[in-house]
Structure 1
Amino acid sequence: MSEDKVNSKRSDEEGAYAVWATPSKDALKRIKKLMSGLRSKFGGPKFDPHLTVIGPINLKGKDALDKFRAACHGLKAYPAQVKDVSTGDSFWQSVFLRLDATPQVVGISEHFDAHFGYDRSTPYLPHMSLLYADFTDEEKHEALAEAKKLDDTIDTMSFAIDRLELYITPSDKTLKSWVKVEEYVLCAP
């Protein structure tokens, strides 16, 4: 278990905070390669692969950091399994990997919901976005086909989630204002 203070000067800032789960190193490399291939063909902002655990939720920075640290304490790395490659109806979910809603994946989200006092308006959809874009239905279909072409076994991928990250994520489609505040390395299971 270790905490890595990434950008503590932002800890007093009020804003929209999110908690992300990050895949293990090998999975991260593979997913980044797929994301890069999709961006080269379809454009869109660059971002790191992540499973959104909660967010964004408006908090003061110190409050977000305290809640994050308390929620992370004692957590262990856990498995994740890709269910399929899919498309959604929002910029943030244009093309994504849908993950199996296992007890571990959903449990971590519920754990953080409780610590942060986060009240979901929709059921939790465990996913890792591959591309952020405002697409037509035809463009989504093309991007989905391209994702499967670039990595034809991505929909059977399994990996460990071994880090959690706290980000400040203002509503900025360029993502230039997004900043990692802190990272927490999960204990081995």
Structure 2
Amino acid sequence: MTYSIWLEPSAKDKKYLQNIIYDLAKQYKAPQFTPHITLYSGINNARLTRKAVHDCRHITKMKVRVTGIRHSGYIWKTLYFDVGTSKKLAELNRILAKRLGNHAKYRFRPHISLIYKKLPNATRRQIAKEITLKNTLEFAKISIIKSSNVVRNWTPIMKISLK
């Protein structure tokens, strides 16, 4: 097992994203999951992960800009909202990288996954056309997830609310 650090949306935007994720999961028999932006992943040390999140406790809630909807053949980016990098997102990544740099290899490319399932290109394109895009979303929590390649086994172990 490894650990991931997520940025999670505020209640209103969580509901919007969760509805999309649940609808797609039901329609395509895919796993359901909590909406998030992965800030860091592949961490093997739980104690260090907690310290890294603690280092971020001064960060305030943030709005992120959704720049488009994209898709790929890569399972972890089957269909996703592309997110523009902001000063706050960059600061979060810098804080985490400072603490975790040698303990995990993770390249930060902010996005919000909507489904994890191998789907044909034509299907992904069609789904992307049908989804209503919000221009901005608010994020209000940082969480630590015990993660694996099996989505249903993902387990939250700690959450902090942003100010």
Query: Do both proteins adopt the same fold according to a TM-score greater than 0.5, normalized to the shorter chain?
Result: yes
Post-superposition CA distance 1:73-128 (Å, at most 9, x none): 32221221111111123111100011111222222122212122256564x21100
2:4 to 8, 11, 18: 18
What is the rounded CA distance, in whole Å, between the counterparts of 1:89 and 1:113 in structure 2? 28
Quick check: 1:21–1:52 contact (8 Å CA) kept in 2? Answer: yes
Q: Secondary structure at the match of 1:73?
A: coil
1:121 to 1:76, Cα distance in 2 relative to 1, 3 A: closer
Aligned match of 2:141: 163
Structure 1: 5+ residue stretches without partners: 1-14
Q: 1:76 to 1:129 in 2, by over 3 A?
A: same
Unmatched 5+ stretches in structure 2? none
Q: Equivalences for 1:83-94 in 2 at 5 Å?
A: 83-94=67-78
> Aligned ranges for residues 67-86 of structure 1 at < 5 Å?
67-69=52-54, 71-86=55-70
Alignment TM-score, normalising by the size of structure 1: 0.78
TM-score when normalising by structure 2: 0.89
Query: What SS does the aligned partner of 1:176 have?
Result: helix
Query: Are 1:79 and 1:104, in contact at CA under 8 Å, matched by a contact in 2?
Result: no
Secondary structure of 1:32's counterpart equals helix
Q: CA RMSD in A?
A: 1.8
> Structure 1 residue 144: deviation in Å?
1.7
> CA separation in 2, counterparts of 1:27 and 1:16?
27
Kindly indicate whether residue 18 of structure 2 is the aligned counterpart of residue 32 of structure 1: yes
Partners of 1:95 and 1:186 lie apart in 2 by 27
3-state secondary structure, aligned to 2:40? strand
For the 8 Å contact 2:48–2:100, the answer to whether it is kept is no
Q: Is contact 2:66–2:84 with CA below 8 Å preserved after alignment?
A: yes
SS in 2 for 1:48: coil
Aligned to 2:100: 116
Match in the other structure for 1:185: 161
Corresponding residue for residue 39 of structure 2:
53
Aligned-partner residue type, residue 23 of structure 1: P
Q: Which amino acid aligns with 1:24?
A: S
Instruction: Tell me the amino acid that sits aligned with residue 161 of structure 1.
Output: F
Larger Rg: 1
79, 93, 97: which one aligns with 1:95: 79
Cα distance in 2 between the residues matched to 1:31 and 1:121: 24
Number of residues paired by the alignment? Answer: 162
